[in-house]
């Protein structure tokens, strides 16, 4: 069922495929990663997937390295790594902005650190400044916001903690306060939300659990209740997982 659900991206003439075209590359990553976790990656034509991903490249930079390791071999790694440099703002720290609009967010810092690490090119940036900027977004509750002073949120915590883990800087994290901050986001249904008063969502299971694992505090939540919540979000007839029980499934939540 899951395999059939995840193949929807190949149905180019379907309504779902057309309206989600702007997320097709994201969906390719979520879907292919899910298939890999299920041990079913061999159901996809790797050459076809890599060829399509390479068509997403920009004239001055590549949009995505794709989920297949062998795709790295067809990349100009130095060009891919260098394309992040124009997005670094000229400040004493290391905020990254998004395209011509200049939006600053710790998500972009995580993305840069993550893919540069995959390409073994972290030396392209000043890692110390990157860490300093991320730490400037840390709050008193131990969490992280989009920018300095921003509200703590599960997604931003994942990005902050993830970037610090990649750079070997987790010793800067207040692990106990952060662990309690995230554990308090588990609601009665067993699901997790991303900040207080929000509804639970499967995606926060990924953000929160990943962070708790990195800071070694995952045993602080009720894992059995969380597993039940996730399984209740399955579409047992057609495959896939939704944000909450009885909602419409999507590739992103299925990946999470």
How high is the pLDDT of residue 241? 93
The length of the chain is 256
* pLDDT at 117 > cutoff 60: yes
Per-residue pLDDT tens digits for 99-115:
455 677 888 889 889 98
In the 8-state DSSP scheme, what is residue 119? T
How high is the pLDDT of residue 175? 94
Q: What is the mean pLDDT of residues 197-210?
A: 93
Q: What is the mean pLDDT of residues 76-101?
A: 62
Provide, rounded to the nearest whole percent, the portion of the chain with pLDDT above 90.
40
pTM for the structure as a whole: 0.82
How high is the pLDDT of residue 91? 47
How high is the pLDDT of residue 70? 45
Handedness of CA 76, 77, 78, 81 (dihedral sign): positive
Residues in CB range of 128: below 8 A, 6 or more apart: none
Lowest mean pLDDT among 19-33, 79-93, 146-160, 233-247: 79-93
Per-residue pLDDT tens digits for 14-51:
676 667 666 777 778 888 888 888 888 888 888 877 77
Q: What is the mean pLDDT of residues 177-201?
A: 92
> Between the CA atoms of 43, 46, 52 and 53, what dihedral angle is there, to the nearest 10 degrees?
110
Residues in CB range of 153: below 8 A, 6 or more apart: 143, 144, 145, 146, 194, 195
- 237: Cα separation from own chain's centroid: 28
* pLDDT at 129 > cutoff 50: yes
Q: How far apart are CA 14 and CA 12, in angstroms?
A: 6
Top-confidence range, 45-49, 55-59, 85-89, 190-194: 190-194
Q: 137: which 2 tokens? A: 């977004």
Instruction: Count other Cβ atoms within 10 Å, centred on residue 64.
Output: 17
């Amino acid at each position: 069922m899951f395999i059939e659900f995840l193949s929807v991206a190949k149905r180019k003439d379907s309504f779902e495929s057309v309206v989600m075209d702007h997320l097709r590359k994201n969906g390719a990553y979520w879907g292919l990663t899910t298939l890999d976790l299920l041990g079913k990656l061999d159901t996809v034509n790797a050459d076809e997937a890599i060829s399509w991903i390479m068509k997403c490249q920009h004239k001055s930079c590549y949009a995505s390295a794709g989920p297949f390791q062998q795709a790295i071999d067809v990349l100009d790694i130095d060009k891919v790594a260098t394309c992040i440099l124009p997005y670094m703002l000229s400040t004493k720290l290391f905020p990254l902005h998004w395209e011509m609009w200049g939006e600053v967010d710790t998500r972009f810092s995580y993305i840069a650190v993550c893919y540069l690490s995959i390409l073994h090119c972290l030396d392209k940036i000043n890692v110390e400044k990157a860490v300093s900027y991320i730490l400037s977004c840390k709050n008193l509750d131990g969490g992280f916001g989009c920018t300095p002073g921003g509200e703590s949120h599960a997604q931003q915590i994942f990005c902050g903690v993830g970037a610090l883990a990649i750079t070997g800087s987790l010793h800067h994290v207040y692990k106990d306060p952060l662990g309690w901050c995230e554990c308090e986001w588990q609601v009665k249904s067993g699901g997790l939300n991303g900040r207080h008063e929000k509804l639970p969502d499967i995606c926060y299971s990924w953000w929160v659990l990943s962070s708790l694992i990195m800071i070694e505090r995952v045993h602080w939540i009720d894992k059995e209740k969380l597993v039940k919540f996730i399984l209740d979000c399955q579409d047992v007839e057609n495959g896939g997982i939704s944000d909450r029980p009885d909602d419409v499934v999507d590739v992103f939540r299925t990946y999470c």
